Structure formats: C-alpha cells, structure tokens
Structure 1
Amino acid sequence: MIRFILVTILSAGLWLAPSLLITAAAEAPEASKDLSFKRDVRPILSNHCFACHGPDENHRAAGVRLDVADEVDLDEVLDRIQSDDPDIVMPPPEMNKPLSPAKVETLARWIEDGAEYEQHWAYVPPSATEPPIVNLPKNTADSDVSISNEWTKNPIDRFALARMQSEDLHPSPRADKRTLIRRATFDLTGLPPTVNEINDFLADTSDDAFPNLVERLIAKPAFGEHLARYWLDLVRFADTNGLHHDHYREMSPYRDWVIRSFNENKPFDQFIKDQIAGDLNDDPTREQLIASGFNRLHLIIDVGTALPEESAFRNMVDQVSAVGTAMMGLTMQCAVCHDHKYDPITQKDFYQMSAFFNNFDGEPETGRRGSSDFPRGIQPPYINLCTPEQDAEIERLEEAVRVARAAEKAIRNKAESSKVDQDDENIITKEEADSLIEALEPTLKEVIEARDSFLSQIPAAMIMKDHDDVRPAHIMVRGAYDQPGEEVTTGTPDFLPPMPETDARKTRMDLADWLIDPSNPLTARVAVNRFWQQLFGVGLVKTSEDFGSQGESPSHPELLDFLTVRFVESGWDVKSLLRQIVLTQTYQQSSRADQRQFVEDPDNRLLARGSRYRLDAEMVRDQVFSVCGLLNTSMYGKSVKPPQPKGLWKIVSMPSSYPSTFTADTGDAIYRRSLYTFWKRGFAPPQLTIFDAPTRESCIARRERTNTPLQALMMMNEEQFFAAEMYLAKQLLDQSELTSEERIVLAYETVTSQIPSQITREELDLGLQQFRAAFEQQPVLAEEMIAGAGKSAMQAGESIANAIKIDAPQEQVELAAWTMLVHSLLNLDITKTRE
C-alpha cells in the first residue's frame, strides 16, 4: 500500500549528527589536578562501598562506616582495595562491582592525602558565588572562533565559558534566527512557530528582536500548558487509580490549576506550599483546596483487594515518596523497610515524614467504580466546582433524595412499630407497607438518577483534609503495614536543617514552610535544575530525580548555586528564571559542532554548543496537528480520548473496571493538545508511550529518550496523522496562485521552520513527481487513501472531512501525491528533533 511508503530525502541542505559517537570519560583525575572528595571520591565510595559500609547501621559490615569520617583503619582499607586475593579484596567479588585501576588509584591518593571528608554537595545550602572572570582571545581574527563580547556580560555565560575554557573548548556560533525561533517556541510553549511568526521575527532587525520574542512566548497561554506537562509527570497525574481495576477518577481541576499557576507566574514557593498544605489555611480558597489534591494523586488499590489498613499504609508511602522525589530530589522510599543504603535517611526519618500524612480525614481510599455513593469516580473529601446556580440545583436535588428516602424509612418504621403496638390506630402486618414502598420506589430511583446525572456534568476536585484527632504514627517493622514498632511524631530528616521548635504538633503547613525555607538546601536547587533540564534536555545535575549519593554531581556546581540563590531572591519567579536562561549566549548557540565535541562530550555537559535531542512525545503529536492547521487550542476541562486502535484497553481491563472499554471522543476535541489526553495508568496513551511518555504510576523527573522502529512505524501509519497531513496538502493545493516550487517551499517551511536549499527543493520535487506517477498508474490507491483519511477525519466533524473530500480522479491523484510529500516532511529527522 502506498500509505506505507516513506520517501527518504537525503540530507542535502540538512545537517546530521555523526552516526556513531564514542564516549571517552576519564575515571580518575589527572595527577596534576587537585583531588576533590565531592567530585572524585564520594561517587566511587557511594557506588562500590556504601551498600555495606554506609548509613544503614543495621546492615553495616564489620562496623566499618565510609560515608562519613569515622574511626577506620585506613591502612587496612588501602590494603583491601589494592589486594588481588578474592578473600580479602574489597568490594568482595560476589558484589560484581570491582574497582577499576583508575578508581583504586583515586582512592589510594585520597587516603594517602589524609582521607578528608566533605559534606555531600546537595546537603549544603547554596551560596552565591561571584561569576568568574573570563578572558576572550586577544586576537579573535587568529583564533578558531570569534567569541562575542556578549559572553562576558551575562553571569550565566561567564560560568559556562569559564568551564569550556578549562577544558580547552570554545563556544559555538550563535544559531540562525530560524533555528532560534523554532527552539525557543518549542522550549517555552511546546509547539512549533507559525510561518507568520517566523516572518515577523525575521523582519525585526533590532537588538531586542530575540528578547521581544521570548516575552511574547512567555505570555502565551500555551506556556502554562507546556510547563504543566513536566509537573504532571513529576506528580504522577492520571485519570485513573492504577492497580487492579484501574477505575476512573475526576482529577482534571488539579491539572487546570497547575496550568493557571504557571501562566499567572505564581511564585514557586507558594505553588509548592498550596499543594502540600493548601487545605490547612485558616480560610482556604477554592484554588488552594484544589491544589491540595496533590496529596490525592497516589495510586489506589481496589476495595476488597487489600484491607483498609494496608490501603491506608500504601497511600501514605506513596505520598511521602512523592514529596521526596518532586520537592526534594531524594529517594525517600528507599527507607520504608530499613535505613537508606546510600543516603543518611533513616527509617525513623521516613516515618516521621509519614506522620504529616497520617491524619487523613476519610476512609482509607479504595478504588470503586462510579456509584450513587461515589459519583464521578471520586471519593471524599472533595468539593464541587459549581456556579451559584448549580449549587442551588444540587441542593434542590439532594433535598428531593432526602425527602424520598425519609418517606421510605418512615413507612418501614411504621410497619415495624405496628407489629409491637397492635392498638395503634394508624396500624400498617406487612402487605400494605410493601405496597406503599413499591409505589415509592420509582420516585426514589428517579430523584437519585436526576441528581447523579446532574452531578456527572459538574467538575469536582478531590482535596486533602486532616482529621481533628491526631492518629499515632509508628515505624513499621520491615515496612509491613501490620507490624507497628516505635511510635514517632512529625519530623524531617536529621541531616537537613531542622524545623523551628514549637510546642504545638507540627502539621503539613509546617512541612511546607520547611520545604521552602531558604535554609533548605534542596527544594529551590532541585527546581532550578529541572527548569534548566527543560531548556537543555539535561539538567546541570543529570540525575534530576536523585540529588543523593547515587546521583551525579553537577556539571557546573557554582552556576547551579548562583541560579538557585537568585531564584529565591527573585521571589521564586519562574518566568524570570526561564527568561534569564533563554536570553544567554549559552542557550542561543548553534547545535552544530565538530566531531571532537560529540566524541568528548556527547551529552553536551560542557555547554559548548546548543543542545540537540528528540522532541518529547506530546510535542511530536501536537506539532503534526499544529502545522496542519487542526490543533484545537481550547483550554481546561475534562480529559479527552483521541482515537486509538480498537481493543487495547481490553488487554488490561477487567469486566467490572470503570470504564471497562475505550470509547473515542468525537468532534475537534480529538485534536486538543496531548496535555489533555485521558491518561489510563494501566494503559497510557499508546501514541505517547511509544515516544517514551511515562505511565505515571510513579513520579518521573526526567524521561528516557529512545529511538525505536515502533516510533517510525507509528509516524508513518497513525490514521489521525495521515488525515491531518492530507488536510495540509489540500490547503497547499487551494493556493492556486502559487507555483509547484513555491508550494514545496511553503510546505517545507511550515513543517520545519526552515527554507529548503535548491538541491533539497529539487529532491522534493522529484519525490512529488514519483508519487504523482505512482498514483496515476494506480488511481484506485489515491481514491482509497482519500476515503480512508476522510473516514478518520469524520470523527472530528463533517467540516474537516468535507475539506479533503474530492471526487475527480485527477484531483485525487494530485491530493494523494501532495499528501505523501507532507507525510515525508513530517517524518524527517529535522521535524522530530529540537535543534
């Protein structure tokens, strides 16, 4: 079939990265360089030694501790790491973590130099470091590259340039304006620029052209939608419970709150505080209550599958783990059963944190399908998000239900009392009562159905609420929900700055204040790193989910601290932070580089070029609809279900699951941004997971990026994409005033934001001619292609389907040929890559 054909346009005019990159990373510092415990030694000890000789005192071998300065026979340590005797050498062979000669040399140097320890960098509060002084080449005409004086003006650039120069590297030239607008538009809105936006940017020749562009992008509603997506990954937002039946629950108001918060530039400390403890304000607003739904995003196991006590325990573990990952960059969950193996988090620390969440005012949450007790798949406590008129109607309907139930109860009570008091003149023996109840049942059923039907149309938000009575919290022995040990009260890990002393029991509000306190070394630093990651594809700390001992050290520690301090001083201003970074020379570099850079620094950790990586799943999908003119930009509201292959949910859904089957939405809702796609944890949207979107069963701080045949197959065969491509092809053909070459140029610019070279134009024209010839030889293929695309488009509405409906055979051939050209453009590497 012709629709499986993909034209491979060879890279005339298109730059491609080297096909094979070899990573050459030195394991040990050069002898001439100073040894750094944080940079050189601690990572070795953490990876090879801490599991047996680390923080976990209950499983510490031979009483030897190596994660902190301790009374250890260093001579014996040195003998053991240098030994080749399998009975003596450390780490022992059965661990399968042998030390390389370079690592042995590093440890030997450290021990011989006195074995001085330093506190782990992430646990030290950030301090403002003066940006380094950088010197440009004296004679730039004779140097390898002309470095602009702009590199000396911005403190971020000075940090980046100083690191490059220390590695004998130089910056790359500034990217061209077309690349810059495409890069910045994707990075700040998640969407590609339009041709008109590109032309306006090119026409602005002032020095403020790029800053003005950045301001326009940050002001777009799409900005908040784009940033919200990263946060929703981090807090495992989904539309279903996960686990077992994976029932539906209404959580979209929380997603909408996140979007609004980023668009309104809510201070990030307040953003965190509202989520941790918004419900504990004296008079919480509706928005603060919705924000507290962060604490209800955990997975929920089904009723009857686990005891209520187990469900409550699992929910609490999930809540603490989410705070640890999302707010602190720590793997708190590793201390559920025992002290952490690598970080100084004790089991007691974990359960002191759990005490903040142990007072939930509600029954242990269990998955249930929608019912009169739990309409809309939500469970108390929750709030209805109504207008005053809707509130009045709900009250009227609830009153009708109460009256009908009271009438039924009165009849039953009267019948029961009559059995006792036979002298009662108002006696009812049992047939009369049954008759009255039978007559009442249709009314009761009717009013309940009317109430539930009305409520199903009303958005509601699950919120957090604490019980008035304080429930005791315990360390659970070996992490077993039914094995309580030592009783604990609310508290935070001892290795971090303490909470202020008070006589009152500390609440989630105290926890929130502690998280955003400037003395806390983690929260702001973790947030800044993730915002950097969103713009460069990798954070200054690559392991953005783990700032502990097993995480990577920052590539630019002074820069990270500088940005963190400035972020806090700015009032936790997210838009200001992103603006500062995007306006740097570092961000605006071209992603083209010589082979040496790719070989020595494949992940661009030294920032000597612009970052280049594949777009996220949502960007890939949204781009198709955006460039083809079909993207539905309406915001907020319930999640939507775009079409997907039939039967997929049946693979993972049980018959009593709610919903049990997938029913696609219709109308232009199916072209809404991927952010609003219904997210079933048991089977997340396949169009997105194929491109590495997470299932959201756990907190994800960074996505993996893979390159698989399935991704190419989906891009070539997804029916929604194909219909959208035909829609764009029809728009191109409708511009009758354009020549074929002009249409090719417009198509290429619309899809890639670039202008094709003459060679590329000729190759595209040749491809178009070949498609046209193929369809002329087999016109039935063109007819079938258009009919299939029309059927797919019909789900979005008659207007879209009619737009691509053509009956004349020769016109069908032309539309099919141009559709395949657009299809080929959307499958190019340049289209799916952020450069």
Structure 2
Amino acid sequence: MNSKIIGISFFALIGVAALAIINIECTPSVGQEIPDVVDYNFHVRPILSDRCFACHGPDEKKREANLRLDTEAGAYAALQDNPKAHAIVKGNPEASEVYKRIVATDTSIKMPPPSSNLTITEDEIKIIKKWIDQGAKIKKHWAYIPPQKSELPKAGKDWVKNEIDYFTFDKMKSVGLSPSEQASKEALLKRVSFDLTGLPPTIEMQDAFLKDESPNAYEKVVNQLLKSKHFGEKMALNWLDVARYADSHGYQDDGLRTMWPWRDWVIHAFNSNYSYKKFITWQLAGDILADKMKRHPKAKEMLLATGFNRNHKITQEGGVIDEEYRVEYVTDRTNTFGKSVLALTLECAKCHTHKYDPISHEEYYGTFAFFNQVPEKGLFGTIDASFADPPNMRIKDEDVKSIFNFINKKDSSKLEVMVMKDSSIVRPTYILERGNYDAHGKVVDFTTPKAILEFKGYEKNRYGLTRWLFDDRNPITSRVYVNRIWEQFFGRGIVKTTGDFGMQGELPTHPELLDWLASDFKQNGWNIKRLVKQIVTSATYMQSSTVKDEHKKIDPENKYLARSSRLRIPAENVRDHVLATSGLLNEEIGGPSIKPYQPKGLWEVATSGRGSLATYVQDHGKDLYRRGMYVFIKRTVPPPAMLIFDASNRDQCEVQRSRTNTPLQALAMLNDPHVLESARVMAQEQLSKKASIDDAIKTGFRKIVCRAPSKKELEILRKYYEEELVFFKKQPQKIKSLQQIGEYEHKPVKDGVALAALLQTFQMMFNMEETLIRI
C-alpha cells in the first residue's frame, strides 16, 4: 500500500497498546476477611492446595509420611509415626497435628518446611483454626455439589434491575466497591447490538433508540435483537469453536469436507430458541432419537444435529494404521464431550487415573465406550475421494423444501454430511494401557465419573448419556453452560476457567450467583434466550466501562463487576463490522463456506500439494461480502485475517479464545483489502450524494464508531482529511491504486483527490480503538 497508509500505522499501534493495557491480568490487592462460617471449598482447600498438597496430596509418588490431606479419610487419619496423633481432630485445633505444625516455631517440625519457601499467613492460619473449631467439615469439590437457589442478598433497591444485581451488588460492597453509573445510550446500544447479533447498530437504530424516552426503550431494543435472524449467527460462533467445526479434514493432506449444513442447523437452533437440553441431546444422540421416532417430522433434523460428533479431524493419508486413527477419533469425541458440557479435563485420565480430579482410568474408558460404537474406519477414502465419510446422511432437494427450510442449499448437486450411527453389535471397549491403541486391558462397561453422578438406571448408549447429563441431580451441566454464556457477555466467566471446573480450575467469584442462575436455568426449561435476556437487562451488564481509581486499586481485573469490561469484538465480527458499515455486507444466512481475498500462494506453500484443497480459488461477487463465520476454514492453513485476531483454528474443542494484542492486528486493519474496499465504497457513496465533507465525516463516524462525534473529534478528522487532500494533490499517482482496491463496483467520481482523502479518513476511523472495542 502507499506510504501514507503505512505512515498512520503508529496511530493504530497506539490503539493496540491501549488494548494491551485493557487485557492485562493482575492480582487484586483485596484484603481477606475471616468469614463467619468457614467453607472448606472456598476458604480452606485453596490454602492446603497451594501449601500442602505437593507433599500431602493426590500424587502417591511424591507423598510424604503417608499423609494425605486432600481426602476426608486421609485428613482425619492417625499419623504413621504416631498412631495416637491425628492430622485433624474435629473441633480441636490444639489436638490437630496440622494446626500444631503450621503454628510451630521449631523449624524442624514447622509446616510448610522453611526449605520449601512456602508460608502461611496469619489470616490463613486463623481460617484453618476456625474451620477446625467449626467441625473441620470436608466437602466434595464445589462443582460436584448440586446447585441450589439461595435467598437474594440485600442490595440498593434503586440500582438493581433483576436478581443478578442483588448478588453482584453484595459482592461489590464486600470488597469496598460501588456500582458504576449506567452507560450512555449510544454505548449501551452498540454493546448489546454486538453482543446479540455481532453487528453494529444502524444509524436508523441509533436515532430510534435515542428518541425513545419510554421506560422500556432498552428492553424493546433487546427484544428486537433477540428476534433478529443474526442472533443465531452470533450465538453459533462460540459453539463452532466448542464443536471444532471446519471445512477440511485436517492432518497433512487436509482435504475438503462438507459439514456446513450442520452449521446451518446450529444457527437455526439458536434462532428457534431450542432449549439447551434439546440442543445438546440432539447433537449427542439425535440418531438414537430418530430411530425411536422414525415418523417424527424432526427425525432427519435430529440426525443432522449429530454432525457435532463428527467434526473431529480425519486422516486421508495412505499407509496409516487404521485402528490407531479410529481410536484417535473416539478419543476426540470423548474429550470434546468432557470439555464442552462437563468442563472437565477428561483427557488426563486416558493414560492413567486423573491426578487431581476424581476421574479414574476405568471411568475414562467407560465414557469412551459411548462414542466407540460408530462403524467408522481410521482411513476411509484417499485424497478428492470422500467429502463425508460414512456414516453419513444424504440431504436431497425435497428434504430442503419440506424438512430443512433452514439449510441454504444453493444448487442441485449431491449433498452428504457426516453423522452418528451406532453399529447393531456392541463393540467391546477396553482400557488402553498408557492410552496406546493396541494395548488392550480389561473390558469396561458404559459408565461416567461417579463423583459427578452415578450412571445407574439409564440406557447404555448416548441417549442414556444425555439423560444422565440432564438429570436434575447432575451438578455440572447447568453450571457449565450458564458460566459460558456469562463469559460471552462479561469477558470472563463467574468461573474464569470456563473449560475446567475441576480441582485445578479457579473458584467462582460469585458462587451463590452461579448456583442461582444454574438452578433458575433448569427450572425455566433450559431456555437460552431467557437466560441471555436476564443477563443483558441486568444493571450489572448496563454499567459504564469507565475505569476509576478504586477499580485499579481494588479490582483491576474486574472480577467483582463494579463496571463493564472493555472487550475487543471477536475476529469474525471485526470483518462483519467493516462490511456492515460500508453497506457491503451480504446478510444471507447459512450455506457453503466462502473464500475471500487472501495473500497469494498461502495454501500452496503450506500444504502437501495434493487433494481437493491444494489450490486456493477465491470467490467473487456477493459471496466476497459474507459474514466472517462463513469464511472457509482449512485446518492446516486457517484464514490469516481471523487468526490475527485470535480466532480458533478449529483443531480441537476450544471453549475460550485467547486475547492478544500484536502489531499484526494494526497492520491488518491498515492494509486488509476488505477494510480499504469498505472505506472506498463509503467515500464513493458520500461523494456521489454530494454531501458536505463535515456531513460525510459525521455519517461515517456514526456508522463506524456507532455514536455522534464530538466537536473536537470532528475538528481532528476534518484536519486529517485536509492534510490528505494536500498529500494526494502532490502525489496523484497514488490515487489510482486506492481507487482500484477491491472488486466491488467502482463508481466514477469526478474528484479523485477528494475520494482518496475521504477514503483515508474513513480508514482511520476503522483503526480507532473504540471501533474494535465493545465498551
């Protein structure tokens, strides 16, 4: 691009630096109070885990003195070298060796030993003493205790809008914080529009909301966005990461697969507000349900939903060991199940009993058994040979007309999608020693981790697994999904480790709120839109994102939600925003993935050179301007513009994207053809309308930044435009390259200098920090 474009990269890099400051994670310096009732999970276990479990925990090989403090039996047991003494004596700290050792001054017996460089603070000692005084009750891990609704805490009645706010207000007050004022109407509209649809509010939406002074003006906007066809697209985006959706098989040859009809179904499911129970049950066991209800009008749709289980990578390389790769596919399905709906690291138990969570080696393979019944092969076809390995389903044109009106099938070509279908004969599942595919141990039955809920009384198939999952006694399922939805709207979950609710995961910041929401979610039919509306209509969500001194001092990470978090919009929505503001966006829902502009030769140099995707063939016309979620994902060479902004490469299940800030992001926004093309189209439109430059800048600012510019901002932008006029008058040869960017119609404009200057002005707006941040 021209030197002037590169010259303003400093502007964008400053924005990147600002983003970096936003995303720094710090440890808050909040003083710890001694609670009235000491809870083992939330107050005691974290201390023991950090200071004691290395030598007296689950790792048998590193355990000292045969003393184990992470189990009830071990903590209450007599000491090996003194049978009359016990580690913990309920109600009697002075008789408890644990307490006596941590308060000892004699370094030869003090715990933790000075050589460990670990210490226990005075407050922590008081917590342990009080816990023992109160009976030293050891509970199951918090995530394995069924959630219950607690009474709403006291809160400022003039601030709260719904039940969520009672809990957040109480937590704020406990750490010395107060709620922030409500965000401005413009900021709030932009925030909720991006959060519910992934798209910016139009100027018409902005005007209507600003004029509406009724008490329920905001709720009306929320209802409008929840009904939008784009709601399903925004909600599906996170699930595509979880489900590891891609358009290629993966591995070295990485050939084409056809799974996009399953993606269309996910969008349809969210738009239709399928309950979370139905959403998951169909994906895990829709084929079994379809067999039970063959005449049901939704039977084929149930079968299509099971494509979730077949989104894993599949090899097409000759010479592989068939059984080795088949086991890899079953392993992927098992691990994805654990991470996606249980938020547990099941994979750790593939090779041995889990060292931290109560998941045995045998229980892992008991869960593995549910996904081990598919009559698939490790290698089915060779490279151009199979876009949908068996078992698969054929989607005919008449199916689209009568059953799948939501599948965007564009032509009459053959369409097959991979789905689940179990063999008629049960395949035995063996414990695999050290996880090796051919190291068969004993045969195991269908089962799940007992620590969560015993698998008893359910069918021994994937439908039985879903019944276990949605059993009212299951403590995990509702918590996990509520927490993941919470993260989508607040930037971090109530449990920060959204993919790990196990012993190594973080504790919830608002445990009572998480349990209240999880219980309420179940009681109200697992209704996703209802949950989303609860969140976005809370006073907690509607707060300003202004960072005050007390926030920096007490809670820089915003764990306690005394303000709104400033978050960069997802990678796909960066593209959507640019296209939508310029009017280029093709709002078509669903259909095959598209290939937009991409640096030449990228696929060719990074692949084996064989197979259906050896060469990149760019799309043209309106397909160039489809939403980011429809961009073709080749696993070995994911879309570069998406990866730069932290999109998943879909190699495996991901429930949480990283947030990075790099110069590449600024350079992409400065040089990406779609950004420059959108700026060109906006400049053409404004000049063809013969709008004044001030009006053109105001209009562009409202479209891009989603608010009216201040007087000072308008002055700065007008000055920049005038500087660009001078530049292009002196450098007329640079105008042509800007005018030719992109394939969209190049409308003739008399004043090429004005076009280039206005294009640069809009392009600078696209690079503003506020453009890419949901404030």
Same fold (TM over 0.5): yes
Identity of aligned residues (%): 38
**Aligned residue runs from structure 1 range 219-298, under 5 A:** 219-281=227-289, 282-283=292-293, 285-298=299-312
* Farther-moved stretch of structure 1 (167-176 vs 179-188): 167-176
Report the alpha carbon displacement of residue 102 of structure 1 after superposing the two structures with TM.
Answer: 7.1
> Are 1:203 and 2:211 matched, yes or no?
yes
What are the residue-to-residue correspondences of 1:333-344 with 2, within 5 Å?
333-344=347-358
Does the residue aligned with 2:709 lie in a helix, a strand or coil? coil
Amino acid at match of 1:232: L
1:576-615 equivalences in 2 (<5 Å): 576-615=530-569
Q: Does 1:802 align with 2:746?
A: yes
Contact (CA 8 Å) 2:25, 2:557: kept in 1 or not? no
Structure 2 distance, partners of 1:267, 1:10, is 42
- Work out whether residues 739 and 746 of structure 2, in 8 Å CA contact, stay in contact via their aligned partners in 1: no
Tell me what 1:814 maps to. 754
**2:41 corresponds to which of 24, 38, 47:** 38
Code of the residue aligned with 2:376 in structure 1: it is: G
Question: 2:424 is matched with which residue?
Answer: 468
Instruction: Kindly provide the amino acid, as one letter, of the partner of residue 478 in structure 1.
Output: R
After superposition, the Cα gap between the structure-2 partners of 1:107 and 1:772, relative to the gap in structure 1 and judged at 3 Å, is same
1:593 Cα deviation after fit: 3.0
Following the alignment from structure 1 to structure 2, what is the Cα–Cα distance between the partners of residues 226 and 559? 25
Give the letter aligned to residue 461 of structure 1. V
Q: 2 CA distance for matches of 1:770 and 1:697?
A: 47
Distance 1:332 1:102, change over 3 A: farther
Deviation of 1:480 (Å):
1.1
Pick from 147, 150, 159 the counterpart of residue 129 of structure 1.
150
Q: Aligned residue for 1:530?
A: 484
Relative to structure 1, the CA distance from residue 216 to residue 100 in structure 2 (aligned partners, 3 Å threshold; closer, same or farther) is same
| Match of residue 724 from structure 1 | 678
Give how far 1:70 is off. 2.2
1:492 aligns with 2:459: no
User: Of the candidates 693, 708, 718, which is equivalent to residue 765 of structure 1?
Assistant: 718
CA distances 1:669-701 after superposition (whole Å, capped 9, x unpaired) = 111001111111112111011011111112111
Whole-angstrom distance in 2 between the partners of 1:180 and 1:740: 28
User: Retained in 2: the 8 A contact 1:329–1:547?
Assistant: yes
Cα shift readout 1:570-606 (whole Å, capped 9, x = no counterpart):
1111011111111111111111131221332222211
Task: Give the deviation of 1:709 after TM superposition.
Answer: 0.7
Determine if contact 1:311/1:366 at 8 Å carries over to the other structure: no
How many angstroms apart in 1 are the aligned matches of 2:331 and 2:64?
Answer: 28
Residue range with higher mean Cα deviation, 757-766 or 454-463:
454-463
Find the residue that maps to 1:605 and give its secondary structure: coil
User: What is the alpha-carbon distance in structure 1 between the residues aligned to residue 126 and residue 388 of structure 2?
Assistant: 56
Q: Give 1:184's aligned residue.
A: 192
Q: Name 2:730's counterpart in structure 1.
A: 777
Give the structure 2 partner of residue 418 of structure 1.
none
Unaligned runs of 5+ in 2: 80-86, 88-95, 402-409
Q: Distance in 1 between matches of 2:50 and 2:637?
A: 35
Deviations 1:404-453 (A, max 9, x none): xxxxxxxxxxxxxxxxxxxxxxxxxxxxxxxxxxxxxxxxxxxxxxxxxx
Q: Kindly tell me: are residues 506 and 760 of structure 1, through their superposed partners in 2, closer, same or farther at Cα, counting changes over 3 Å?
A: same
Q: Which amino acid aligns with 2:154?
A: I
Q: Does 1:700 align with 2:654?
A: yes
Unaligned runs of 5+ in 1: 137-148, 392-453, 795-799
Counterparts of 2:126 and 2:438, CA distance in 1: 46
Question: Which residue in the other structure is 1:516 paired with?
Answer: 470
Return closer, same or farther for 1:513/1:22 CA change in 2, 3 Å cut-off. closer
**Contact 1:327-1:526 at 8 Å conserved across structures:** yes
| Kept after mapping to 2: 8 A contact 1:269/1:572 | yes
Corresponding residue number in structure 2 for 1:444: none
Further displaced range: 85-94 or 292-301: 85-94
Matched, 1:350 2:364: yes
Matched, 1:174 2:188: no
For residues 793-822 of structure 1, the C-alpha deviation after alignment (integer angstroms, 9 at most, x for no partner) is: 22xxxxx2323x54x5xx111000000000
Rounded Cα–Cα distance in structure 2 between residues aligned with 1:520 and 1:133: 29
Q: How does 1:678-757 map to 2 (within 5 A)?
A: 678-736=632-690, 738-757=691-710
Inter-CA distance 342–757: structure 2 relative to 1 (3 Å threshold): same
Distance 2:335 2:575 in 1: 31
Q: CA deviation at 1:80?
A: 7.3
Q: Does 1:824 align with 2:768?
A: no
Matched letter for residue 596 of structure 2 = P
Q: CA deviation at 1:58?
A: 7.9
**Of 395, 401, 420, which aligns to 1:385?**
395
Q: Which residue of 1 aligns with 2:501?
A: 547
User: For each residue in 1:599-644, what CA deviation from the matched residue of structure 2 results, as whole angstroms up to 9, or x when unmatched?
Assistant: 3222221111122111111111110011011011111111111111
Pair 103,256 (structure 1): closer, same or farther in 2 beyond 3 Å:
farther
Distance 2:279 2:399 in 1: 30
Deviation, structure 1 residue 23: 3.4
CA contact (8 A) 1:28 1:102 kept: no
**2:4 paired residue number:** 2
* 3-state SS, counterpart of residue 746 of structure 2: helix
Distance in 2 (CA, whole Å) between partners of 1:690 and 1:536 is: 22
**In the aligned structure 1, how far is the partner of 2:773 from the partner of 2:109?**
51
Please tell me whether the aligned partners of residues 56 and 346 of structure 1 are also in contact (alpha carbons under 8 angstroms): no
> What is the CA distance between 1:663 and its match in structure 2?
1.6
Matched, 1:481 2:437: yes
User: Which structure: larger Rg?
Assistant: 1
Aligned positions, number? 736
Task: Report the Cα distance in structure 2 between the residues aligned to 1:389 and 1:313, rounded to whole angstroms.
Answer: 33
Q: Is the 8 A contact 2:452 2:476 kept in 1?
A: no
AA at the equivalent of 1:483: A
Distance of 1:287 and 1:344 partners within structure 2: 36
Shift of 1:49: 5.2
User: Contact conserved, 1:43 with 1:550, CA < 8 A, in 2?
Assistant: no
1:64 pairs with 67, 71, 88, which one?
67
Asked if 1 retains the 8 angstrom alpha-carbon contact of 2:29 and 2:555, the reply is: no
Q: CA deviation at 1:301?
A: 3.0
Q: 1:2 Cα deviation (Å)?
A: 2.2
2:376 is aligned to 362
**Residue 26 of structure 2 corresponds to residue 23 of structure 1:** yes
Q: Which residue identity lines up with residue 598 of structure 1 in the other structure?
A: K
Q: Note if contact 1:46-1:342 (Cα within 8 Å) is conserved in structure 2.
A: no
Q: 1: CA distance between counterparts of 2:541 and 2:726? A: 45
In the superposition, relative to structure 1, how do residues 30 and 130 fare at CA in structure 2: closer, same or farther (>3 Å)?
A: closer
Counterparts of 1:658-669 in structure 2 under 5 Å? 658-669=612-623
Is the CA contact (8 Å cut-off) linking 2:28 and 2:557 kept in structure 1?
Answer: no
Q: Which residue of 2 aligns with 1:417?
A: none
- Give the aligned CA root-mean-square deviation in angstroms: 3.0
> After superposition, where does 1:392-411 map in structure 2 within 5 Å?
none
- Counterpart AA for 1:771: E
Q: CA 1:662–1:9 in 2, change beyond 3 Å: closer, same or farther?
A: closer
- Residues 202, 55 of structure 1: alpha-carbon distance in 2 compared, 3 angstrom cutoff: same
Cα offsets for 1:40-61 (capped at 9, x unmatched): 3323444565566545668866
TM-aligned CA deviation for residue 9 of structure 1: 7.2
SS at match of 2:210: helix
Distance in 1, matches of 2:412 and 2:499, equals 37
Partner of 2:84: none
The answer to whether the Cα contact below 8 Å between 2:12 and 2:767 also exists between their aligned partners in 1 is no
What is the CA deviation profile of residues 507-543 of structure 1, one whole-angstrom value per residue up to 9, with x for unaligned ones?
Answer: 1110011111221111111111111111111111111
TM-score with structure 1 length normalisation? 0.83
- Kindly provide the amino acid, as one letter, of the partner of residue 814 in structure 1: A
